[in-house]
A and B are shown apart, each in its own frame.
Chain A
Amino acid sequence: MMDPQPLLIEHGRLVDPSQGIDRLARVLMSRGKVIAIDPCDDDLPDYHHHIDARNCIVAPGLVDLGTEFREPGREEDETIETGGAAAVAGGYTSVLCSANTDPPIDTPAGVELVRRIAAACAGPRVHVIACASRGRDGEQMAELGLLAEAGAIGFSDSPRPIHNSALLKYALDYCRMFDLPIFDRPVDPDLVEDGVAHDGQVALVLGLKGLPTEAEDLAVARDVRLAEATGGRLHVGPVSTMGSVDLLRRVKQRGIEVTASVCPHNLWHSDEMLRSFDSRFKVHPPLRSDKHIESLINAVADGTIDAIQSGHMPRAREKKMNDIDQAPFGASTLETTLAVIATRLIHTGKMDWSQAIMRLSTKPAKIAGISAGTLAIGSPADCVVINPNETWKINSDDFYSQCHSSPHDGDEVTGRVVYTIVGGEIRFTRRPALQHLV
């Protein structure tokens, strides 16, 4: 990355929960780092770019704990380049890519490939979550040590759960050597068969095969117990049920250090949307009923759920065009997550911006063990500028992502990304040109 001009963001409201800051402040970046908060004019470099962030929020760039860029092998769904463009348009400066590729990323060469392609794109920082099992077969542990050396920052069989309890236990135990987390998508596959929708009244009436909540609750219970037994680092998510929330609340009170995340679509629409039989509402975890949504919102607000992840699972149009059984789970969410959270949680008073940035940036960075989620002096100049009051209508045709299927298409939201800055370089902007100061 070339050294960009020094960049000064001024007149904005700096919201950085990592430093407990929420006030008007100037942020100066140079050589890819934050070099000063509120520098006096004398300290400014002679020549620098400047962003007027009046009426905007300036925050550490968002960090996504689980996104799918389908390269290599499934480029019809998304490439690292198009997914990256979607990420920065959504305010993300770091994403953790899961290994849902073909072949799955279970070798050091695979990790290297993704990192190289990502480095050549002007998108977010891309980190690799490699396979927990060889070929993602759920049986034999992948070469976690070698993958870690190649730069993998965690392991998962996503979108599949790690069903084999012995494998999960070994992986958690083994990963203590590298201090890396295991990410498990909690589902007991024996209880879901070919389910497509939340196993509630709507699925009953529509005759849709159900995804029962207990399939998730049981998996969360097993996962946290194995994390406790091994002392390994475990992240469960995304979660979508009241039962998961109850379990997490209890184990956290006991001091067990598991973390959990939730997807924005599980905080808004309910399974009622499936009445349209429209496959854009076939997402994973499934849209559940209102009582689950309420429970999840409270859990995000009180910290029982640590992080919000986009749940970006892009799938090509021709795949989502199918009937609701045949169409794959998935949606394009990177570009709408921030707006959905602002609309559903902040503007409704469930949490403030500082808490939201904590769940979207600071905490995910901590879980991933990466240097991000903060604008403290000396940290990477990864930053997002948000207009909190801009109201707009989500139109999936405008997405940078190759996938245009969204459960939020047509929804009116308030809060929009204006600039996304990665390493001091503007990677996305909705404003035409930069103002210069000499």
Chain B
Amino acid sequence: MTVLALETESPNTNDTITFPTAWKRRHLLDLESLSADEINILLDSAERLKWITGGCRRKLTLLSGKTLANLFFENSTRTRNSFSLAAKRLGADTVEFASSSSSVSKGETFVDTAKTIQAMGVDWVVTRHSTPGTPHLLARELDCCVLNAGDGAHEHPTQGLLDMLTIRQHRGQLNGLTVALVGDIAHSRTARSNMWGLRKLGAHVIVCGPATLVSPRWAELGFEVAHSLDEILPRCDVLNLLRIQFERQKSRPFPSVHEYSNRYAMNGKRLRRCKPDVLIMAPGPINRGVEITPEVADGPHSVILEQVTNGIAVRMAALWLLAGANEENR
């Protein structure tokens, strides 16, 4: 068993974290393939690291000497910075590659780009790409740890984990809760990661949105499919409001933004029909007025900003666990 003791800069002698021997994975590619135990290890570690760092603010030296490379082929501000901050809070260095400024714009394939970056001696590659499965391809090609920061409409595992951590912190557990994912399920990687993760931990998942964006095939896979937000509102413990991904839609799958927000936007009137302790979440960036009105986004039920903080926590946990597993492998 590896015990990683922390630097003494922390005044509290309880500030230690023990590496869970059950954790074996070197990559975090999706939540569909993780077990409930593995997800719990990630969430527990995130909670612990969040506490040790005083709410993700204090810097540790747990992973000093290691380097994280952000390899983003799609625009991102919050996820990229969140990974960078997570690495820095644990004492690691970071290096940034953006597709527009790298060799990819000169015609290099992304696998070649990733191999080049690995050859510079990085320990983690965090990747975002518009094509599903690109992190899986990298994981086959690279020796370092690969973290999926979003692959097309497939998965965004750390987003799923931070959503689950946020719910767990408010409700103690996920088992037995009803969680609705509302909006553009078809194009949402956040939705897919949430669906698998929540279900593995015992939550009931409803996917809700226009029929053109919520396939009836999800029902065959055991998820509840709904097209009317008003009908499901009173049953939900959590509402996770997803952004409409206009950039991924070639032809409009609904008549107008006006009609969409009329049917699916979370507003004050709808909020009053919810359970009194309902949690309102959004993965962001949020489109105020489209899927959520300001009074709800900024209201007492909203945990949107907590999600952002928890994002750093789950990313610290993921980096720490993957690096530990990789070390043991060697």
Contacts and interface: CB of A to CB of B under 8 A. Distances in A.
Is B truly associated with A? yes
A204 B192 CA distance: 10
A204 B153 CA distance: 9
Interface string B93-124: 00000000000000001110000000000000
B109 A206 contact: no
Contacts of B110: 322-323
Given A201-B221, A277-B133, A326-B131, A207 B109 contact: no
Contacts of A277: 132-134, 136-137
A201 B215 CA distance: 10
Contact of A322 (B109, B152, B251): B109
B60 to A, nearest CB: 35
B155 interface: yes
A207 B32 contact: no
Nearest to B138: A323
A208 B192 CA distance: 12
Given A277-B137, A318-B109, A323-B110, A204 B131 contact: no
Contacts of B137: 277, 323
Interface string A305-326: 0000000000000100111111
A325 B73 CA distance: 13
Contacts of B187: 207
B246 to A, nearest CB: 15
A193 interface: yes
B250 interface: yes
B134 A205 contact: no
Given A201-B220, A323-B110, A207 B134 contact: no
Interface in A266-294: 276-277
B198 to A, nearest CB: 15
B111 to A, nearest CB: 7
A277 B130 CA distance: 14
A16 B142 CA distance: 52
B131 A324 contact: yes
A322 B133 CA distance: 11
Interface range on chain B: under 10, 10 to 19, 20 to 34, or 35 or more? 20 to 34
Contact of A206 (B154, B221, B251): B154
A323 B133 contact: yes
A277 B135 CA distance: 10
Interface in B25-39: 32
Interface string B236-258: 00000000000000110000000
A204 B152 CA distance: 12
Nearest to A277: B133
Contacts of A323: 110, 129, 131, 133-134, 137
B189 interface: yes
A201 B251 CA distance: 22
B217 interface: yes
B291 interface: no
B304 to A, nearest CB: 24
Contacts of A318: 109
B23 interface: no
B131 A325 contact: yes
B68 to A, nearest CB: 22
B109 A324 contact: no
B146 to A, nearest CB: 13
B151 interface: yes
Of A194, A201, A204, which is in contact with the most chain B CB atoms at under 10 Å from its CB? A204
A277 to B, nearest CB: 3
B211 to A, nearest CB: 14
A207 B154 contact: yes
Of the listed residues B130, B132, B155, B250, the one surrounded by the most CB atoms of chain A closer than 10 A to its CB is B132
Interface string B32-57: 10000000000000000000000000
Contacts of A208: 132, 152-154
A193 B132 contact: no
Interface string A167-211: 000000000000000000000000001100000110011111000
A322 B112 CA distance: 10
A325 B152 contact: yes
B212 to A, nearest CB: 13
Given A206-B154, A318-B109, A324 B132 contact: yes
Nearest to A326: B131
B125 to A, nearest CB: 15
Interface string A96-108: 0000000000000
Interface string B143-160: 000000001111100000
10 closest A-B pairs by beta carbon, nearest first, are A277-B133, A207-B153, A207-B154, A325-B131, A323-B131, A207-B132, A277-B136, A323-B134, A207-B152, A204-B217
Given A205-B192, A207-B154, 7 more contacts: A193-B250, A207-B155, A208-B153, A276-B136, A277-B132, A321-B111, A325-B152
30 contacts: A194-B250, A201-B217, A201-B220, A204-B215, A204-B217, A204-B218, A205-B32, A205-B192, A205-B221, A206-B154, A207-B153, A207-B155, A207-B187, A207-B192, A208-B152, A208-B153, A277-B132, A277-B133, A321-B109, A321-B111, A322-B109, A322-B110, A323-B110, A323-B129, A323-B133, A323-B137, A324-B132, A324-B133, A325-B130, A325-B131
